[in-house]
Amino acid sequence: MTPIETMWLVFTVTATALFVADIKLSAGRAHEITRREAMLLCAFWVIVATMFGFLTGYMLGFEKMLEFFTAYVIEYSLSMDNMFVFIMIFAYFGIPKKYQPKILTWGILGAVFMRLVLIFTGVKLIHTFEWLIYVFGGILILTAVKMMLQKDGEMDPGANPALKLLAKIIPIDRVASEGDFFVKRRIWHATPLFATLVVVETSDLIFAVDSIPAVLAISTDKFIVYTSNVFAVVGLRSLYFLLASIMDLFRYLKAGISIILFYVGVKMLISGYYKIPAMLSLGVVLGILALSILLSVAIRPEPKPVNK
């Protein structure tokens, strides 16, 4: 086997084993994930991704390792902003915290398959039509500006077109029904859990339109792009519960992420004239992300005066 074939095999076996284990855990007793449990799970997923990145460097070379880590950090940082949207979605549908892990697990599984199609299609398009990289760069810059100007709480999950289509196909019950996606009254009804899953999946599809071009700016190697995406996505369940418990500490995270997107967009636009080294890109992305988190922690909003 060639080194790349070996790495594909290692990735497939590792990802499959972790997915099966995660699905079995979510299929067990429904429970609310605590902050401590979320922190341990986040650390576990980051360690697994780091080990895979080092193995990529050993098997495929130092440059590929840098590309993997840069793509992973970009995708993971973009996922942080997406998790705040998921918090809004769960609040809108009134999903109890003990049922949220199940929705996130199946949502992540769907995201992996969607991104498989989008990534391989995107790589093929860029290799066939090289000018598309400039289109993707422009899209990322526009997305960065839109993210910077967008106010929190502007999203309305109830206006999701997929949710409206679901309501036309099957009635949506108002009760969570002990964690089931479907329940039979006189006829079958979809529960709020399934409705939430539909909105989460369609929201992730929209996120992928932004995040995949950002990763394609780092590498057009299908192995690097897909594996970095998957390792970032599989850790979203634990990341969601960690951010939900400390979301007040990430006041400037959206600004940092928008700057990262802007940088990556510029990187794509100038790629035909100057190729920014992978090491420099990794340093820039990590630096912006770290600075936005440090500012969030250091600069706290002043407490609102209490009216007597």
| pLDDT > 90: percent of the chain | 8
The answer to whether residue 297 scores a pLDDT higher than 50 is yes
Reported as type and span, the H/E element at residue 113 is helix 100-128
Q: What is the pLDDT of residues 147-168, one digit of tens each?
A: 677 665 555 555 667 777 777 7
Give the mean model confidence (pLDDT) for residues 73-85.
Answer: 73
Give the mean model confidence (pLDDT) for residues 76-82.
Answer: 71
Burial of 184 (0-12, 13-18, 19+ CB in 10 A): exposed
Instruction: Assign 3-class secondary structure to 57-86.
Output: HHHHCHHHHHHHHHHHHHHHHHHHHHHHHH
- Which structural domain range is residue 230 located in? 3-151+197-298
Q: Could you tell me if residue 254 is inside a domain?
A: yes
Q: Could you tell me if residue 192 is inside a domain?
A: no
User: So what's the pLDDT on residue 308?
Assistant: 46
Nearby residues of 48 by Cβ (< 8 Å), 6 or more positions away: 14, 18, 231
Q: Could you tell me if residue 43 is inside a domain?
A: yes
Q: Could you tell me if residue 238 is inside a domain?
A: yes
Helix (H, G, I), strand (E, B) or coil at 165: helix
The answer to whether residue 27 scores a pLDDT higher than 70 is no
Mean pLDDT of the chain: 76
Q: Contact at 8 Å (CB) between 63 and 219?
A: no
User: So what's the pLDDT on residue 53?
Assistant: 92
Nearest-angstrom CA–CA distance, 104 and 96: 13
The answer to whether residue 30 scores a pLDDT higher than 60 is no
Q: Could you tell me if residue 106 is inside a domain?
A: yes
Work out how many domains the chain is built from and give that number: 1
Q: Could you tell me if residue 167 is inside a domain?
A: no
User: So what's the pLDDT on residue 168?
Assistant: 77
Q: Could you tell me if residue 169 is inside a domain?
A: no
Q: Could you tell me if residue 170 is inside a domain?
A: no
